[in-house]
């Protein structure tokens, strides 16, 4: 079965500490991978797309095909990073129409 | 541009009733997708429409249906409501549909909170 797992529902770190939000997927083939973020009282929005290989707001995401993981990382967390983060691998055979979201991790960055 | 808009913001229905949710995409966007987000879960894909045609369907029963109008706005209809249909329903628009090898960023609306009693 095609599954997306974000093992941590809640993650709390102090400001300035490194943060890693985990995402594991089980798909045949090579999905494209996205991270979405939802800040308090804002809409769900794209944070980054792995194929772009960009760093957005200091976040990067590394695809590990061997471990089928796509963890989101930031070396120094800021209070404004507090939000809900969703990993969304997209099955390649279905195309990008069928986004598959994980259950999400709520990140809290404490001062 | 106000972005994707959805109406109503909140809705309470009883089991067995029917509901219609509405979505207006960003100006110039021709594709609309619908997602269901149950509390504590990520969004689940329901439908995608592009140029008034269904381009994708998730694993939802036939009680769920949708359509897109000539102005690219969209409606999601759910018949014979069940308690389990209680959720946040999200609409997302993109410039065009995404295929197997092309991606167009989706922009999400604020959602409609449906409660079924």
pLDDT (tens digit per residue) in A75-111: 999 999 999 999 998 766 555 566 789 999 999 999 9
Q: How confident is the model at residue B83 (pLDDT cuts 50, 70, 90)?
A: very high
Contacts of B3 in chain A (CB under 8 A): 43
Secondary structure of residue B3 in the 3-state scheme: coil
Residue B98 has a pLDDT of 65
Domain ranges of chain B: 5-99+106-116
In angstroms, the CA B81 to CA B42 distance is: 21
Residue B105 has a pLDDT of 83
Exposed / middle / buried, residue B111 (Cβ in 10 Å: 0-12, 13-18, 19+): buried
Instruction: Flag whether residue B30 sits within 8 Å of chain A, measured between CB atoms.
Output: no
Instruction: Flag whether residue B45 sits within 8 Å of chain A, measured between CB atoms.
Output: yes
Q: From A41, which residue of chain B is nearest by alpha-carbon distance?
A: B110
The architecture that CATH gives domain A3-110 is Sandwich (2.60)
Residue A54 has a pLDDT of 78
Question: Stretch A38-53: mean pLDDT, rounded?
Answer: 88
Q: How confident is the model at residue B112 (pLDDT cuts 50, 70, 90)?
A: very high
Q: Which of A93, A98, A104 sits opposite B42 (nearest CB)?
A: A104
Q: Is the pLDDT of residue B110 over 90?
A: yes
Query: What are the residues facing B6 on neighbouring strands?
Result: B23
Contacts of B41 in chain A (CB under 8 A): 103-104
Q: How confident is the model at residue B114 (pLDDT cuts 50, 70, 90)?
A: very high
Tens-place pLDDT, residues B49-71: 988 999 888 899 999 999 999 99
Q: Are B7 and B49 in contact (CB under 8 A)?
A: no
Q: Which of B43, B55, B105 sits opposite A46 (nearest CB)?
A: B105
Q: Which of A55-59, A83-87, B36-40, B73-77 shows the lowest mean pLDDT across its residues?
A: A55-59
More reliable by pLDDT, B63 or B106: B63
Interface of A with B (CB under 8 A): 4, 9, 32, 43-46, 49, 86, 88, 92-104
Is A43 within 8 Å of B3 when comparing Cβ atoms? Answer: yes
Q: How confident is the model at residue A51 (pLDDT cuts 50, 70, 90)?
A: confident
Q: Is the pLDDT of residue B5 over 60?
A: yes
Q: Which of B40, B45, B108 sits opposite A98 (nearest CB)?
A: B45
Domain ranges of chain A: 3-110
Mutation target for A interface from B6, B25, B42, B55: give the one with most A CBs within 10 A: B42
Q: Is the pLDDT of residue B25 over 80?
A: yes
Tens-place pLDDT, residues A13-42: 999 999 999 999 887 667 778 899 999 999
Find all residues with CB under 8 Å of B35, minimum gap 6, and list them: A99, A101, B43, B44, B45, B46, B89, B90, B91, B92
In angstroms, the CA B9 to CA B112 distance is: 5
Q: CATH number for the B5-99+106-116 domain, one of 2.60.120.960, 2.60.40.10, 3.20.20.70, 3.40.50.1450?
A: 2.60.40.10
């Amino acid at each position: 079965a095609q599954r997306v797992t974000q093992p941590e529902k809640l993650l709390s770190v102090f400001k300035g500490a490194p943060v890693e939000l985990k995402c594991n997927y089980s798909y045949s083939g090579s999905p494209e991978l996205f991270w979405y973020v939802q800040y308090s009282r804002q809409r769900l929005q794209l944070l980054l797309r792995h194929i772009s290989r960009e760093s957005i707001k200091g976040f990067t995401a590394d695809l590990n095909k061997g471990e089928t993981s796509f963890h989101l990382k930031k070396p120094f967390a800021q209070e404004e990073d507090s939000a809900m983060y969703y990993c969304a691998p997209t099955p390649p055979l279905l195309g990008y129409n069928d986004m598959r979201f994980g259950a999400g991790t709520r990140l809290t960055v404490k001062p | 541009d106000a972005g994707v808009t959805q109406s109503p913001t909140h809705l309470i229905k009883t089991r067995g009733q029917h509901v219609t949710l509405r979505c207006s995409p960003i100006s110039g966007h021709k594709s609309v997708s619908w997602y269901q987000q149950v509390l504590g879960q990520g969004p689940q894909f329901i439908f995608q429409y592009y140029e008034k045609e269904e381009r994708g369907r998730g694993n939802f029963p036939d009680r769920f249906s949708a359509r897109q109008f000539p102005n690219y706005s969209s409606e999601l209809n759910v018949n014979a409501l069940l308690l389990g249909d209680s959720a946040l329903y999200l609409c997302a628009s993109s410039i065009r549909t995404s295929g197997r090898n092309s991606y167009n960023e989706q922009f999400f609306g604020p959602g409609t909170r449906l409660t079924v009693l």
